[in-house]
């Protein structure tokens, strides 16, 4: 039987989601904890990579088990997991359901604080000074008119194409916080952080919103801004078709 786990994690202590030799990752910790609980080696497939230090308030991963599992399994698993990883729900799925390939969209938020705040040390990027919200939102509207985002992709990555459909992109201000929200059917490696770094240049007056046209059409990462630091980025939502969930 195939199951989905709905979980969340603070990524500060981890080298991202995906297992990497010699590094502590969320996937590695989760698989080992599940293995202890089920007394066998477990393979868990995540919805996608997150970079070192990036957080997720909603993340999904799938695995197979011959045992019938319910919410009690999630409770017992939480007792084995460290404090910075939490499992919220377990869902029985159709046999072919896939946490990565069946995702319809993913939503990220990036948080910038213009006030030094020790309580946001690992959850926001501190960047003092005035930021022009209107200019960054103008840039966000331009962003949605394109589909090839090679200029914001990490170089030397193995992908078939750089095409993404951005459904939502906007900035909002909450006091000293500037929060960027973006939803797309897929994201390239480092894409959101590269976009945020470029838009922050626009908000600081170092670039104009119209400069995005030239950056994107150049398909050259060197023409975009520096990547914003990882700690401000959180994966907050993943959408799936209802058809892959088994009726309870």
What sections of 43-132 are H helices per DSSP?
71-80
- From CA 183, how far away is CA 192, in angstroms rounded? 10
- How do the residues of the chain divide into helix, strand and coil, expressed in percent and rounded to 5? 30, 25, 45
Residue 27: strand, helix, or coil? helix
Look at the chain and count its residues.
248
Beta bridge mates, 238: 106
CA-closest candidate to residue 148, choices 93, 212, 87, 52: 212
Residue tagged 């088990």 (tokens): 65
**Of 28, 51, 102, 201, which residue is the catalytic one?**
51
Catalytic-residue membership of 148: no
Query: Cα angle vertex 167, ends 213, 142, to 5°?
Result: 20
38 phi and psi, to 5 degrees? Answer: -95, -5
Q: Which two tokens stand for residue 100?
A: 């990565």
Residues annotated as catalytic are: 51
């Amino acid at each position: 039987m195939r199951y989905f786990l709905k979980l969340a994690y603070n990524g500060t202590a981890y080298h991202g989601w995906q297992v990497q030799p010699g590094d502590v990752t969320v996937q590695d910790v989760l698989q080992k904890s599940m293995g202890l609980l089920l007394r066998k080696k477990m393979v868990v497939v995540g919805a996608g990579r997150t970079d070192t230090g990036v957080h997720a308030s909603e993340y999904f991963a799938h695995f197979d088990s011959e045992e019938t599992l319910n919410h009690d399994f999630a409770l017992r698993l939480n007792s084995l997991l460290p404090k910075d990883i939490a499992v919220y729900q377990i869902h029985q799925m159709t046999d072919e359901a896939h946490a990565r390939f069946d995702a319809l969209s993913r939503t990220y938020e990036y948080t910038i604080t213009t006030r030094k705040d020790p309580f946001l040390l690992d959850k926001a990027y501190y960047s003092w000074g005035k930021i022009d919200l209107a200019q960054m939102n103008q840039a966000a509207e331009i962003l949605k008119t394109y589909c090839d985002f090679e200029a914001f992709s990490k170089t030397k990555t193995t992908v078939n194409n750089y095409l993404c459909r951005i459904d939502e992109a906007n900035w909002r201000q909450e006091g000293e916080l500037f929060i960027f929200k973006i939803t797309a059917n897929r994201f390239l490696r480092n894409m959101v952080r590269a976009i945020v770094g470029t838009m922050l240049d626009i908000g600081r007056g170092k670039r104009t919103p119209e400069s995005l046209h030239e950056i994107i059409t150049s398909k050259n990462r060197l023409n975009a801004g520096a990547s914003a630091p990882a700690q401000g980025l959180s994966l907050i939502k993943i959408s799936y078709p209802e058809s892959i969930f088994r009726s309870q």
